[in-house]
Amino acid sequence: MHEFQHQDSPQTLAEGFDEYAAANPGLVRGAGLSPQAQRFFSCHDAVHVVFGCGVALDDEAVVKIASIFGTTAGLAVLRGYRLHESLDIYRQLRVAAVMRSIARSVFIVPRTIARCLAQRARWPWDGFDDHRHIALRSIRQEFGIRVAH
């Protein structure tokens, strides 16, 4: 596990972003994405860091559910998953891995929804810049967020 994935991580959100990016060098960012995808994946990556998720399929399921129920985006977040860049990622997934993740989602989805509904406030989907220099443990305490693991 990475430091940003620990509930009481002293890292700032910016440091968590840096660690997440370093741990996942294969993620496409920047000029390789449309402006809409750049914005979406920046917000999506923030959810990864704040909710303490890696990039395994089970963690991606947590991020999707947390984005809907635990952030200010709500159902509007689903538009980002329809971008061609998102669809390109889906095409690379192995069917067997997706099927295993779907089977485990029976536990992951209700647990994630319950945790999100127990939050004190929803994480700001696209208005989080003023939190970049705040410790993850403080952010999680303020919003009532419990990390995925």
**Angstrom distance (rounded) from CA 101 to CA 97:** 6
Q: Look at residue 28 in the predicted model and tell me its pLDDT.
A: 66
Residue 1 tokens, joined: 């596990």
Q: Look at residue 126 in the predicted model and tell me its pLDDT.
A: 93
**Angstrom distance (rounded) from CA 29 to CA 70:** 24
Q: Is 0.85 topped by the overall pTM?
A: yes
Residue 18 tokens, joined: 């840096």
Q: Model confidence at 131, in pLDDT bands (50, 70, 90)?
A: very high
Q: Look at residue 133 in the predicted model and tell me its pLDDT.
A: 98
